[in-house]
């Protein structure tokens, strides 16, 4: 049963990944990316990696939900949702994908005779103990680095109103100070 679930989730993941790169609508592509990452999380669950499963759901699938809500639905213009998402370097991409598939096939051939353990053991308690004891300081340092990167991204993307808008232009609704009946 576990093997059937694994192959079913792998098929869903590969199909969703294919949809990410082939669909023209940005909203549909981002929803396919969420499905693809949810499929990867399901694969982790079937392999017994419970901590990675929950992390995948919280971080990546949650990030895709934020992407869909804020970037695609709220910030994008309707004309940008249907732009062509390919470029002229697709031949090089096909070559690199073929080389990657060849390398993975060789790697899989090396370990074809090895099998997974019969039953998966929960890993959450061991990882939590490790993160809260031996790796607590590096974990906090990484969080500070990520916080500094987030602050830098906000500062880098922030533009002054005077620099970006031409004189005499205003956004719709800006000239209304109160709602009129």
DSSP state of 81: G
CATH 1.20.120.1200 corresponds to the domain 1-82: yes
Instruction: Please tell me the least confidently modeled range out of 25-29, 101-105, 130-134, 144-148.
Output: 25-29
Domain assignments of the chain as residue spans, ordered by start: 1-82, 121-158
* pLDDT given at position 35: 92
Q: Mean pLDDT across the stretch 15-24?
A: 89
Residue 27 has a CB neighbour count (10 Å cut-off) of: 14
Please give the torsion angle defined by the CA atoms of residues 95, 101, 103 and 105, in that order, rounded to the nearest 10 degrees: -150
* pLDDT given at position 146: 85
Q: Mean pLDDT across the stretch 79-89?
A: 64
Q: Which residues contact 116 (CB under 8 A, 6 or more apart)?
A: 47
Whose CA is closest to 85, among 26, 169, 147? 26
Question: Highest mean pLDDT: which of 34-43, 45-54, 135-144?
Answer: 34-43
* pLDDT given at position 78: 60
Q: Mean pLDDT across the stretch 45-60?
A: 87
Whose CA is closest to 34, among 54, 10, 56, 8? 56
Read off the tokens for 169: 């232009």
Question: Highest mean pLDDT: which of 61-70, 94-103, 161-170?
Answer: 94-103
* pLDDT given at position 103: 94
Give the Cα separation of 149 and 168 in Å (integer). Answer: 35
Q: Over 70: is that where the pLDDT of 61 sits?
A: yes
The answer to whether 39 and 12 have CB atoms below 8 angstroms apart is yes
Per-residue pLDDT band at 11 (split at 50, 70, 90): very high
Predicted confidence (pLDDT) per residue in 92-136, tens digit: 888 999 999 999 999 988 888 877 666 777 778 888 888 888 888
Q: Mean pLDDT across the stretch 13-37?
A: 88
């Amino acid at each position: 049963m576990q093997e059937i679930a694994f192959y079913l989730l792998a098929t869903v993941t590969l199909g969703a990944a294919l949809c990410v790169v082939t669909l023209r609508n940005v909203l549909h592509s981002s929803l396919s990316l969420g499905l693809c990452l949810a499929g990867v999380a399901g694969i982790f669950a079937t392999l017994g990696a419970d901590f990675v499963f929950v992390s995948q759901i919280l971080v990546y699938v949650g990030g895709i939900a934020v992407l869909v809500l804020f970037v695609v639905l709220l910030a994008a213009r309707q004309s940008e949702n249907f732009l062509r998402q390919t470029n002229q370097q697709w031949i090089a991409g096909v070559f690199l994908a073929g080389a990657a598939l060849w390398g993975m096939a060789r790697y899989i051939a090396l370990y074809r005779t090895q099998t997974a353990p019969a039953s998966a053991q929960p890993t959450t308690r061991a990882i939590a103990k490790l993160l809260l004891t031996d790796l607590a300081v590096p974990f906090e340092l990484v969080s500070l680095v990520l916080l500094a990167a987030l602050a830098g991204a906000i500062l880098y993307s922030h533009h002054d109103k005077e620099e970006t808008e031409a004189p005499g232009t205003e956004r719709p609704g800006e000239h209304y100070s109160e709602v009129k009946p």
